[in-house]
């Protein structure tokens, strides 16, 4: 409210709110997210999350559950705060000095913003895959082995070999790289690098995987491979994915959350959001009227 720009933007939002099946849905004041933010079996549960960058509020009162063995997709126009929200889930925002997070985010009933909580084990539980593939400038093997090594997950070299093979297999990369594990990970193609990063993340056996636009730097074929992989990973992991591609959200996710200007506008079953959105903003966005 302090920022005049924000005020104007919110007034704009307030003007375009009414949907026949949604009723009055002002984003002003006592705005409520449309749809059910809770699920029966949550792995992560966020309540009233606010994020500030210095004085600017980037996320406003967002509550959202991430269900077990589900893929939750977060969509929305650029700058809507979906990436910021995702980065709250494993406290990656801690690295930004001016960033402040309030509200409650729970991982299996443990508040991850508890002062006594150590972020190192948290990040082992909640892994992250980034927008741009960012393998370490080390060998393929060392990239995958890094996590298990620093966390002391393996006792012997053979065990480590096994973890590396399993992780690369799960990431669908094993057959392509098994003969050149000692070559640098940075020498792979973009799609392979991203799958290597996914292998690196799952090598630590996390419970939740956060993906921040994992396919935005990839071509359609590599994207298809990664999407297929996400679908397979769902069996064992809980996944939250931020994406700019609505088709991707529709293909890989079970639930979809639509963000707009720092607020969670609507959340629901993916099929419902894409076939029968209840909020006008959601409909405008998914039908391509803006964004």
Partner 1 sequence: MNKPENARVRTIDKVKASLEKRYAKERRFRRLGLGAVLLGLSFVLVLFMDITSKGYTAFVQTHIELEVFFDPALIDPDGTRDMDVIARADFRKIARQPLREKFPEVTGRRDKRALDSILSTGAPYQLLEMVRADPDLIGTRQMVELIADDDIDMLVKGYIDRNAAAEDRRVNDSTIAWIERLDSDGLISLNFNTRFFTNGDSREPELAGIGGAAAGSFYTLLVTLALSFPIGVAAALYLEEFAPKNRWTDLIEVNINNLAAVPSIVFGLLGLAMFINLFGLPRSAPLVGGLVLTLMTLPTIIIAGRAALKSVPPSIREAALGVGASKMQTVFQHVVPLAMPGMLTGTIIGMAQALGETAPLLMIGMVAFIVDVPGGPLDPSTVLPVQVYLWADSPERAFVERTSAAIMVLLAFLIAMNTFAVVMRRRFERRW
- Summarize as ranges the residues that interact with partner 1 (CB under 8 A): 90, 92, 95, 97, 120-124, 127-130, 132, 134-137, 146-147, 150-151, 186, 197, 200-201, 203-204
Exposure string of 146-172, with b = 16+ CB inside 10 Å and e = fewer, is ebbeeeebbeeeeebeebbbbbbebbb
Q: Which is closer to partner 1, CB of 28 or CB of 182?
A: 182
Apex 109 CA angle, 104 and 111, nearest 5: 35
Closest CA to 251 of 282, 205, 283, 220: 220
Least separation in angstroms between residue 258's CB and partner 1 is 26
Residues 6+ apart with CB under 8 A from 286: 75, 246, 258, 273, 274, 277
Enter the tokens of residue 146: 């890094």
Least separation in angstroms between residue 205's CB and partner 1 is 11
Q: Which is closer to partner 1, CB of 87 or CB of 263?
A: 87
Q: Which is closer to partner 1, CB of 130 or CB of 237?
A: 130
Least separation in angstroms between residue 24's CB and partner 1 is 41
Give the Cβ contact number of residue 8 at 10 Å: 10
Least separation in angstroms between residue 239's CB and partner 1 is 15
Give the Cβ contact number of residue 206 at 10 Å: 20
Q: Which is closer to partner 1, CB of 40 or CB of 120?
A: 120
Give CA 160 to chain center in angstroms. 28
Least separation in angstroms between residue 54's CB and partner 1 is 12
Least separation in angstroms between residue 137's CB and partner 1 is 5
Q: Is 192 helix (H, G, I), strand (E, B) or coil?
A: helix
Least separation in angstroms between residue 123's CB and partner 1 is 4
Least separation in angstroms between residue 44's CB and partner 1 is 16
Q: Which is closer to partner 1, CB of 79 or CB of 137?
A: 137
d(C-alpha 192, C-alpha 195), whole Å: 5
d(C-alpha 218, C-alpha 264), whole Å: 27
Give the Cβ contact number of residue 212 at 10 Å: 20
Q: Which is closer to partner 1, CB of 51 or CB of 204?
A: 204
Enter the tokens of residue 250: 């529709």
CA distance to 90, 124, 128, 178, 202, per residue, from 121 (Å): 10, 5, 13, 30, 14
Q: Which is closer to partner 1, CB of 73 or CB of 129?
A: 129
Q: Which is closer to partner 1, CB of 34 or CB of 86?
A: 86
Residues 139/142/143/145 CA torsion (nearest 10 deg):
160
């Amino acid at each position: 409210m302090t920022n005049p720009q924000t005020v104007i933007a919110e007034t704009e939002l307030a003007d375009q709110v009414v949907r026949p099946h949604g009723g009055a849905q002002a984003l002003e004041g006592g705005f409520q997210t449309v749809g059910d933010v809770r699920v029966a079996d949550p792995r992560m549960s966020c309540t009233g999350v606010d994020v500030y960058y210095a004085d600017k509020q980037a996320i406003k009162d967002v509550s959202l559950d991430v269900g077990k063995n589900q893929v939750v997709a977060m969509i929305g126009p650029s700058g809507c705060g979906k990436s910021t929200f995702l980065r709250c889930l494993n406290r990656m925002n801690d690295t930004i000095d001016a960033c402040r997070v309030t509200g409650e985010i729970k991982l299996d009933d443990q508040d991850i913003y508890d002062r006594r909580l150590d972020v190192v084990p948290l990040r082992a539980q909640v892994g992250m895959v980034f927008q741009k593939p960012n393998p370490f400038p080390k060998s393929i093997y060392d990239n995958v082995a890094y996590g298990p090594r620093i966390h002391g997950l393996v006792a012997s070299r053979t065990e480590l070999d096994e973890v590396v093979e399993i992780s690369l297999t799960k990431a669908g990369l094993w057959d392509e790289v098994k003969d050149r594990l000692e070559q640098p990970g940075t020498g792979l193609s973009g799609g392979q690098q991203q799958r290597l990063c996914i292998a690196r993340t799952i090598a630590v056996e996390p419970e939740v995987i956060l993906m921040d636009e994992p396919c935005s730097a990839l071509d359609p074929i590599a994207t298809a491979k990664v999407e297929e992989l996400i679908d397979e990973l769902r069996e064992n992991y809980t996944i939250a994915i931020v994406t700019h591609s609505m088709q991707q959200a529709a293909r890989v996710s079970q639930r979809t959350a639509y963000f707009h200007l720092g607020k969670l506008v609507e959340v629901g079953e993916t099929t419902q959001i894409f076939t029968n959105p209840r909020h006008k903003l959601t409909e405008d966005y998914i039908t391509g009227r803006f964004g």
